[in-house]
Amino acid sequence: MENSGSKADVPDLIPARMLSEFAYCPRLCYIEWIDGEFSDNEDTVEGRFAHRRVDAKEDDIARDGIENENEKENEKENGKETETGREAFHARSLFLSGPKAGITCRIDLLEGDGERVTPIEYKRGKAPGIPEGAYEPDRVQLCAQGLVLRENGFRCDGGIVYFVRSKKRVAVDFDKALIRRTNDLIADLRTAAEKREIPQPLQDSPKCNRCSLAGICLPDEVNLLRETDSNEAAERGFLARIRKLIPSRDDTMPVYVLGHGNTVRKKGDLLEIWSRGDDDEKTGKEGKSKQVRLREISQVNLFGGVDVSMPALVELMQRGIPVLHFTRGGWFQGLSCGHTHKNVQLRMRQFSWAEDKKKSLSIARSVIYGKIRNCRTQVRRNDDKTEEKADGKSAKDALDRLERLSRDARNASSIEKLLGIEGAAAEVYFGRLGQMLKADQGFSFENRNRRPPKDPVNAVLSYLYAVLAKDVFVSLLAVGFDPYLGFYHRPRYGRPALALDMMEEFRPTIADATAITLFNKGELSERDFINTGIGVSLTSKGKKTVIAGYERRMESEITHPLFGYSVSYRRILEVQARLLSRVISGEIKEYPAFYRK
């Protein structure tokens, strides 16, 4: 791995919470603190909820339930004198720093008598049945707080972990062994931050099972691929059934707003979509509205002249929900989003890799290899016509040639040769695409054409490719990549080159498969298209039908050919983007192309 860090890059003060994470799992700490990534799950949300009383009003202290029932009832209430004769106090959410210790911390609750103080750390779970009373990460976090308090002139000999579910206080003594362990972890964390090398994943650890960052970390996937040639393994039918640590699909969904005159607004925790028809335009009425809960939205897609209110836009930005803008015809124009991803190191490595022709070629070969393999799978599954075409080529001929071209792609010696191989494969594949359509539906396909598309099938393909490109674009942004700098497609003004790279292997399995299904099931008819004389485009109703079919495909679950668990296509886009980031960081040897057998 590249060492791109230095002592100057590491903050002077390490958050005590990050020290606790480092003691629990060094990789978790690195992803959260250095890479700046975080994802909630039930446990993290519950943990924040458990801290709600810590930030309550001062007069709510007595209702916290934290006082030990065996202690004198009012011994430590504010303004009361303790046995030392000093006035007792409570301080909540106290921020302190210790430059010598190199730690900054937020203390949930601080009890004291003016000289001796005791930090109290809230934890959402139950007290563990171990001799120490609390796990090491919790004890280390408390000890780090104690070191900061001592540096600020307080006497602090121990702390307390309060377990919310157990309603139990566990005392932690700051003895020499714990202090030594805490200082060692501070030094180790600082060293890891300086090296800018992500720690290796834990091996089959139960800690991963409830980790909210498992879908970002991909511990079992990375461990499997670290020493494995994934593409060769897949060819042999290799299938590793690893733990399923990521959800099959997202709980949130994209929102699409199509058509001129629609307006997007915010109302409380809802997003309102107001549509205005021709009659409403004449009368000046508001029209009809639909409502979507903001927490259920993953992205908002605006096609054509759609207005969005500033309060709605700001709320979406604050929630990290991208707003994507398209022309009426489906051209992706850009997006509105909040802060960009914090993982600057990934983008620095991406730029370095893009300048290296050998490294760029290695990724491009895997991507095109996966694309051709998926094209072959589409022909094998959908082209059941045995007759030859006018050129004398049959489906079997196409399968054989695509097989050879996929192997040629893996061994291409330059980007230029790879482009030629991809072009040859596209000619073979699209030469059979028309045979995958049912003749009784009245649609035909001769060849791929665009700008503008000359027939309904090409119009649907172009529209689907644009929608797929935006989903890949969003996935890359979420991981921390710059979608405009690719390894196969060269940078060009306004072209999201990396998004185009990553969508190549998904064109056949997502976009083409959706188009074939829509035509063969009769979901699209001639009424869904407009022939302008120079090309063919979709009507508003046709676009809605295509998007509905696309979303069904994205939410459908398949068995991952490498990892063996069930997962949706939308989730696979993110997994592939994260695996690419692990290649860039040097964790795995090559990009594992996704393709179905």
Model confidence over 528-564: pLDDT tens digits?
999 888 889 899 899 999 999 999 999 999 988 888 8
Q: Is 597 helix (H, G, I), strand (E, B) or coil?
A: coil
If one counts every other C-beta atom within 10 angstroms of the C-beta of residue 3, the result is 9
Residue 178: DSSP 8-state: H
Q: For residues 508 and 198, give the distance between their C-alpha atoms in angstroms, rounded to a whole number.
A: 34
- As separate numbers, helices (DSSP H) first and strands (DSSP E) second, the chain gives 19, 18
Is the domain of 176 the same as that of 43? yes
Residue 328 belongs to some domain of the structure: yes
Is the domain of 286 the same as that of 172? no
Percent of the chain with pLDDT over 90: 47
Cβ atoms 30, 198 nearer than 8 A:
yes
Q: What angle do CA 282, 285, 287 make, to 5 degrees?
A: 110
Question: Is residue 260 predicted with pLDDT exceeding 50?
Answer: yes
The predicted pLDDT at position 286 comes to: 58
Is the domain of 188 the same as that of 260? no
19, amino acid identity: L
The predicted pLDDT at position 277 comes to: 58
Residue with tokens 């054509």, as numbered in its chain: 304
Is the domain of 316 the same as that of 180? no
Peptide bond just before 11 cis, omega within 30 deg: no
- Here the CATH number for the domain that contains residue 331 is 3.100.10.20
Residue 336 banded pLDDT, cuts 50, 70, 90: confident
Residue 241 banded pLDDT, cuts 50, 70, 90: low
Q: Give 172-184 pLDDT, tens digit per residue.
A: 999 999 999 999 9
Structure-block tokens of residue 482: 């710059």
Among 297-311, 339-353, 482-496, 500-514, the range of highest mean pLDDT: 500-514
Residue 282 banded pLDDT, cuts 50, 70, 90: very low
Residue 293 belongs to some domain of the structure: yes
Residue 219 belongs to some domain of the structure: no
**Buried (b) or exposed (e) across 525-551, using 16+ Cβ within 10 A?**
eeebbeeeeebbbbeeebbebbbebbb
Structure-block tokens of residue 131: 């001799």
Is the domain of 261 the same as that of 149? no
DSSP bridge partners of 297? 253
Is the domain of 26 the same as that of 165? yes
Residue 377 belongs to some domain of the structure: no
Is the domain of 12 the same as that of 117? yes
Residue 531 belongs to some domain of the structure: no
- Beta strands 270-275 and 263-267, pairing class: antiparallel
Is the domain of 178 the same as that of 313? no
Among 575, 578, 555, CA closest to 563: 575
- Beta strands 158-163 and 270-275, pairing class: unpaired
Residue with tokens 């089959």, as numbered in its chain: 204
Q: Which domain holds residue 309?
A: 253-336
Residue 57 banded pLDDT, cuts 50, 70, 90: very low
Task: Select from 284, 312, 336 the last residue of a domain.
Answer: 336
Task: Select from 148, 170, 195 the last residue of a domain.
Answer: 195
Residue 213: DSSP 8-state: T
| 485-498 mean pLDDT | 87
Is the domain of 191 the same as that of 269? no
Question: Is residue 58 predicted with pLDDT exceeding 50?
Answer: no
The predicted pLDDT at position 365 comes to: 96
Question: Is residue 74 predicted with pLDDT exceeding 70?
Answer: no
Is the domain of 284 the same as that of 157? no
Q: For residues 295 and 195, give the distance between their C-alpha atoms in angstroms, rounded to a whole number.
A: 37
Is 402 or 278 the better-scoring residue by pLDDT?
402
- Here the CATH number for the domain that contains residue 127 is 3.90.320.10
Cβ atoms 215, 538 nearer than 8 A:
no
Is the domain of 157 the same as that of 283? no
The predicted pLDDT at position 416 comes to: 95
Q: Is the pTM of this model over 0.85?
A: no
Q: For residues 19 and 25, give the distance between their C-alpha atoms in angstroms, rounded to a whole number.
A: 10
Number of domains in the chain: 2
Q: Is 307 helix (H, G, I), strand (E, B) or coil?
A: strand
Q: For residues 360 and 363, give the distance between their C-alpha atoms in angstroms, rounded to a whole number.
A: 5
Q: For residues 498 and 477, give the distance between their C-alpha atoms in angstroms, rounded to a whole number.
A: 11
- Beta strands 297-303 and 323-326, pairing class: parallel
Report CA 349 to chain centroid distance, whole Å: 19
Residue 291 belongs to some domain of the structure: yes
CA distances from 517 to 253, 291, 304, 441 (A): 22, 30, 26, 12
Q: For residues 565 and 241, give the distance between their C-alpha atoms in angstroms, rounded to a whole number.
A: 7
Which positions ≥6 away from 506 have C-beta within 8 Å? 374, 468, 472, 569, 573, 594
Task: Select from 279, 307, 336 the last residue of a domain.
Answer: 336
The predicted pLDDT at position 285 comes to: 56
Is the domain of 182 the same as that of 313? no
What average pLDDT does the structure give for the chain?
Answer: 83
The stretches of 227-270 forming alpha helices (DSSP H) are: 230-235
Among 371, 350, 368, 533, CA closest to 454: 533
The predicted pLDDT at position 553 comes to: 95
Residue 420 belongs to some domain of the structure: no
Cβ atoms 220, 27 nearer than 8 A:
no
Q: For residues 201 and 123, give the distance between their C-alpha atoms in angstroms, rounded to a whole number.
A: 25
Residue 466 belongs to some domain of the structure: no
